Amino acid sequence: MIKFTIITLFREAIEPYLKSSMMEKAVRKGLAEFDFVNLRDFGLGPHKSVDDTPYGGGDGMLLRCEPVFAAIEQIKASDPDAKVIIPTPVGEIWNQSLAREFASQLGGFRSAAARDLAREPRGDGSERRDPECDANSHYIILCPHYEGYDERILSIVDYKISLGKYVLTGGELPALIIIDSIVRLIPGVLGGEQSAEIESFSDGDNLEYPQYTRPEDFRGMKVPEILLSGNHGEIAKWRSEHSGQVK
């Protein structure tokens, strides 16, 4: 089980995605859990303020320390091992091997069959707990907004992650990208896996060979002959020749 607690002022910008498609499936299968904490609840004064102007001058508002520390400390009070991620343009650039690392910190599941067996209800109807299924990871994603954040916030952050060399309005889109790219690697989330081993992803995903579905001929654009041949060896060779690797 991987859990993400998302600290944000804009839950409505994030939640619909996590309630759709594969993310929803991961939750339904008990493989992922998403929780939200409203930073405003920890705001200061009658206006529940969470930001202020920068010392030394400059445009815009910065996220203040007090609400952020209070929110994170409250989450960590019930799970001291939770790790804090902050999306920021000055972080380490996110990529597939980082996503793999985060997904594999789950401790590794056994086969999907073993996991399903472990989940079968006991005679009394309660769920059977398999110790290996109890391997948990909990990440707190702090979504900054406004022009930035007080630098001292970084003292309680474990991972600074950048989605690329451009500046976004806030941490909500990066949070979704980080979550999606990790959760899809958890065995059982995507359909048709040959193996539930995280290791099966470690030699790169052959995502980039061209793929085709019906019809064979669409407006004169034909599916390559080899893919219709039924010759699995030749198809594998063609795919390998035409593929790029996710690094």
Is 153 a binder of ligand ADE (CB under 6 A)?
no
Chain CA centroid to CA 167, Å = 20
Distances (CA, A) of 224 to 216, 231, 234, 237: 9, 13, 12, 13
Is 164 a binder of ligand ADE (CB under 6 A)?
yes
Beta strand residue intervals within 64-212, DSSP E: 83-93, 137-142, 148-149, 159-162
Per DSSP, 111 falls in state -
How far apart CA 84 and CA 178 sit, in angstroms, is 13
Is 148 a binder of ligand ADE (CB under 6 A)?
no
Is 188 a binder of ligand ADE (CB under 6 A)?
no
Contact call for residues 135 and 108 (beta carbons, < 8 A): yes
Is 163 a binder of ligand ADE (CB under 6 A)?
yes
CA proximity to 175, closest of 40, 29, 23:
23
Is 174 a binder of ligand ADE (CB under 6 A)?
yes
Is 55 a binder of ligand ADE (CB under 6 A)?
no
- Between 93 and 117, name the residue whose CB sits nearer to ligand ADE: 93
- Between 67 and 144, name the residue whose CB sits nearer to ligand ADE: 144
Contact call for residues 128 and 121 (beta carbons, < 8 A): yes
- Between 79 and 92, name the residue whose CB sits nearer to ligand ADE: 92
Tokens matching residue 32: 């992922």
Per DSSP, 140 falls in state E
- Between 159 and 201, name the residue whose CB sits nearer to ligand ADE: 159
Going by their DSSP bridges, the two strands 137-142 and 2-8 should be labelled as parallel
Is 204 a binder of ligand ADE (CB under 6 A)?
no
- Between 93 and 228, name the residue whose CB sits nearer to ligand ADE: 93
- Residues 65-94 touching ligand ADE, rule: CB under 6 A, are 87-89
How far apart CA 212 and CA 190 sit, in angstroms, is 20
How far apart CA 176 and CA 144 sit, in angstroms, is 14
- Between 7 and 189, name the residue whose CB sits nearer to ligand ADE: 7
- Between 159 and 238, name the residue whose CB sits nearer to ligand ADE: 159
CB of 128 to ligand ADE, least distance (A): 40
3-state secondary structure of 146: coil
CB of 92 to ligand ADE, least distance (A): 10
CB of 231 to ligand ADE, least distance (A): 45
Is 243 a binder of ligand ADE (CB under 6 A)?
no
CB of 217 to ligand ADE, least distance (A): 43
* Residues of this chain that bind ligand ADE (CB under 6 A): 87-89, 162-164, 166-168, 171, 174
